[in-house]
Copies of this chain bind each other. A is one copy, B any other.
Amino acid sequence: MNIRVHVSLKPGVLDPQGRAVHHALEGLGFAGVDEVRVGRLIELDVADDTDDTALTEMCEKLLANTVIENYRIEKVG
């Protein structure tokens, strides 16, 4: 089973990497970019009998820092 975990910084948390990308885009001449936030995309190939509880636990314990990050679990198939 293929799982995608989308991890992004919570709103309000400072994102220096996003700022750097934003600044670089402006430097390259791309106008009209308002905000950039950089997160992680973790693709896991897990056994088909892995349940949602285990997936949530993986996110809470390791994949995301829930103090400053949100995560979303997506089952790809």
Measured CB to CB, the residues of A under 8 A from B are 6-8, 18, 21, 24-25, 28, 30-47, 49-50, 54, 57-58, 61-63
Contacts and interface: CB of A to CB of B under 8 A. Distances in A.
Copies of this protein chain in the complex? 2
Choose among A32, A40, A41 the residue with the greatest number of B CB atoms under 10 Å from its CB.
A41
Given A30-B57, A31-B47, A41-B41, 11 more contacts: A8-B43, A18-B42, A21-B42, A24-B62, A30-B58, A32-B46, A33-B44, A34-B44, A36-B43, A36-B44, A40-B41
A8 B25 CA distance: 20
Contact of A45 (B35, B58, B61, B62): B35
B21 A33 contact: no
